Chains A and B, each alone.
Chain A
Amino acid sequence: MRWTKYLIWLAAAGAFYALTLALSGAGFISRFMLMTMVQICIYIIMALGLNLITGFTGQLSIGHAGFMSIGAYAAGFLASTYGGRVSAALTEALGGAGGAAVYYIFILATLAAGAFVAAAFGVLLGLPTLRLRGDYLAIATIGFGEIVRIVLLNTKALGASSGLPVKNSVGWTTAYWLMLLSVVLIYNFVNSSHGRACISIRENEIAAETMGINTTKYKVMAFALGAGLAGLAGGIYANHMYLIHPNSFNFLKSFEILVMVVLGGLGSITGCILGAVVMTVMNNALSAFPEMRMIVISVLLVVMMIFRPNGLMGTTELRLPFRRKAAGGKEDVTHGL
């Protein structure tokens, strides 16, 4: 039963992917739209990670852009430093097409490395600071994000304040499938016993501890996974955007991702996907009026907190109506893409 369900969803995701390819091939999807779609994928991955930390585990982190920049710089540094040599060596050894295919695996490896480094930093930051509660943790994560930005601005090997140029080698295909992979990962994590432990920490930390849950362990686990996803998103960003700069991962970016999660629903996977899609589309649509965009976002956030403090979706998931009776139906991963 479970596997047929997965296959159906895989087929749906594949069909959607084929549709986008066909549409962009036929010229209905412009390059700009495709770029927006890649951005949507990046932000969905980011939002999923933050939702795990803030929405499911209840730990407020406002330094998520810090993890993104760590992933971006790790992946970008590997790709820009070794990419040329690896590509040349592979072309020589395997010929043009074979070399390109293996080179793609190298790029995927840099993304994985970015995710891994970011996750390691998540553990590094999480172990000491997760003993802090609520506000204090939020402040510590802001501090962390700022420290990462300043360190990057001062590191000559990573381009310092002029940024790090990275070749564009990742496009819609990679972003799309990695995004789906992240959704499946988070969905399965949240619905596992680990995920339930995380949710119990959100609901009542003291009660969870009394029931024998090692709260520090699960908080660090959520932090590492969330940071790892942010690193993955950063890696995609680096390999897609031609140039990465420390200041594009500032407090504002962390805040935007938080808004996506809060808007969609703290503790709802479909909610945060919806939030990421809406926010990214709105950001791009209003990019000509930067002040207005921020005013709209901030007013939206304040009004939202006053009237629906758990976000539009709350903790509920979107489900297709005809699957409502099936136990634990998979959410619509292709929603809005």
Chain B
Amino acid sequence: MSAEFILQQLLIGISLGSIYALIALGYTMVYGIIQLINFAHGDVMMVGAYVGWYCVTSLHMPFLPALLTAMLACALLGVVIERVAYKPLRKSTRLAALITAIGMSFFLEYGMMFIVSPQTRTFPPVFPQTIYHIGPVIVKYGDIVIIAVTVVLMTLLTLVVKYTRIGKAMRAVSFDKDAAALMGINVNNVISATFAIGSALAAAAGVLVGVYYNTIGPLMGIMPGLKAFVAAVLGGIGIIPGAMLGGLVLGLTEVFVSAIGFSTWRDAGAFLILIIVLIVKPTGLLGRNTREKV
């Protein structure tokens, strides 16, 4: 394997990993706050891709407004999902919540299929098909956009979580929900905000996937959703930098598994990593060990 080849794969891996990281952030934020694996998250990404596609094809929007519209629409969708399906279950068992999340996921998939028909759609090219040669590496315009959008969104997220009132409230709620409520934080609003932010990030990932791979379909969210979850667990679920790291590690692993000639085994690799991480260090790469209390 030549150095150019490795560099080229590295670039593809980073692009793919950025998308996983964007989706994983939503999983990890929601899990950090209400300890729920939001299975519908991958499907929110799918809805985002469809909104973006509609904006670009029917409303003839350029890329950036389409991206923002999709993010806004999905933020709303995320809040509605939380209020309708998850909020009534906040006090019930985790099994019930998890099953509801899976039900919600299938509802979004097949509801979408019912509305837009099961056929896949082609995303029109929104970027110039420019190709840059940086040294020996071929860089597509799309790669640059993906990485740029991801970096901007992640920086924004970090700033929001660290320096704003709502970010502080989120950290407080994820640390101790009851104590935060006693301090006068409106926990319901914080949870809604978390869903809104997470879903908006997923929508951004969905539009990027649609633009980068050119096709979208109602079931496109399942695999990236599961893999982004793997990424979140890999980095340590509930930890925001962990999701970014996990996404990148997963993207790179997948690309290199394909590159050495095992492309049909790519998905198995991701899940194998998941099981190994769960067995060896269930708290993830960046996780701390916490003792279980009775």
Contacts and interface: CB of A to CB of B under 8 A. Distances in A.
B99 A135 contact: no
B75 to A, nearest CB: 21
Contacts of B93: 309
B106 A297 contact: yes
Interface in A38-92: 54, 58, 60, 62
Given A292-B114, A301-B100, A309-B92, A150 B265 contact: yes
Contacts of A258: 99, 102
* Chief secondary structure at chain B's binding surface: helix
Contacts of A1: none
B264 to A, nearest CB: 5
Contact of B229 (A134, A139, A294, A309): A139
A250 to B, nearest CB: 9
A236 to B, nearest CB: 26
A132 interface: yes
* Chief secondary structure at chain A's binding surface: helix
B107 A295 contact: yes
Interface string B248-276: 00000000000000001101100110110
Interface residues of A, number: 42
Given A138-B98, A139-B229, A206 B279 contact: no
A150 B110 contact: no
A302 B271 contact: no
Given A140-B278, A294-B109, A299-B107, A146 B268 contact: yes
Contacts of B233: 136, 139
Nearest to B84: A302
Given A291-B110, A295-B107, A305-B89, A146 B278 contact: no
B103 A302 contact: yes
A298 B106 contact: yes
Nearest to B294: A206
B104 interface: yes
Nearest to B85: A302
A58 B96 CA distance: 12
Contacts of B100: 301-302, 305-306
B94 A147 contact: no
A144 interface: yes
A69 B275 CA distance: 19
Interface string A116-157: 000000000000110010111011101110110011011000
A138 B31 CA distance: 15
Interface of B: 35, 37, 85, 88-89, 92-100, 102-107, 109-111, 113-114, 118, 222, 226, 229-230, 233, 264-265, 267-268, 271-272, 274-275, 278-279, 282, 294
18 contacts: A58-B95, A132-B278, A139-B229, A140-B275, A146-B267, A150-B264, A150-B271, A255-B102, A262-B99, A266-B95, A292-B114, A294-B106, A295-B110, A298-B106, A301-B103, A306-B89, A306-B100, A309-B96
Given A140-B274, A143-B275, A291-B110, 19 more contacts: A128-B279, A129-B278, A134-B94, A139-B229, A142-B271, A143-B271, A146-B268, A147-B271, A150-B271, A153-B264, A255-B102, A295-B110, A295-B114, A298-B104, A298-B106, A301-B99, A302-B85, A305-B96, A306-B100
